[in-house]
Amino acid sequence: MGNYRSAENGLLYDLFGKLRGYYNPVTKIDVDSFSASVPVLVSANVTITSRNEDEYDGKTLEFSGAYTVTLSAGLSVGFGFAVIPPASGNASIASDGTVQLNGATTTLTRAAASNAAVAVIQRASSINSYVVTGS
């Protein structure tokens, strides 16, 4: 949890001052107690940019239908999110033409029938390259 700073009361705040968890003095471990947030409902196509990335970073996106989330270049280091595909139709993860998804600038689709949940994880070697799980 190196991106967090601890207040004297043991609470952990991110670099923007948002409360993220607490420090357990017994185990000497930081506990990110807010990572299991309420899913964000995706009910329209979404483009994630550096201006709105905080709405999606580290969140679970639950698709209410067949929509597309497009990733733009230049998102913060460590950006990522989980996806719950819709009951019918596909969740699509798209590139803006610069971002690489599993090594290509393409659109990947994931269906609930074969993917209960999907992870979109930024690669350490390139901030504009992501691994998308599932098939």
Nearest to 79 by CA among 42, 106, 50, 100: 50
Q: How confident is the model at residue 39 (pLDDT cuts 50, 70, 90)?
A: confident
pLDDT digits (tens, 9 = 90+) for 42-97: 999 999 999 999 999 988 899 999 999 999 999 998 889 989 999 999 999 999 99
Pick the more confident residue, 130 or 21: 130
Nearest to 15 by CA among 5, 6, 2: 5
User: What is the distance between the alpha carbons of residues 21 and 65, in angstroms, rounded to a whole number?
Assistant: 33
Pairing mode, strands 100-101 and 126-132: parallel
Structure tokens at 29: 């471990």
**For residue 101, what are the CA distances in angstroms to 39, 48, 50, 76, 80?**
22, 14, 18, 16, 12
Give the mean model confidence (pLDDT) for residues 9-24.
59
Q: Which run of H or E residues covers position 91?
A: strand 90-95
Pick the more confident residue, 119 or 24: 119
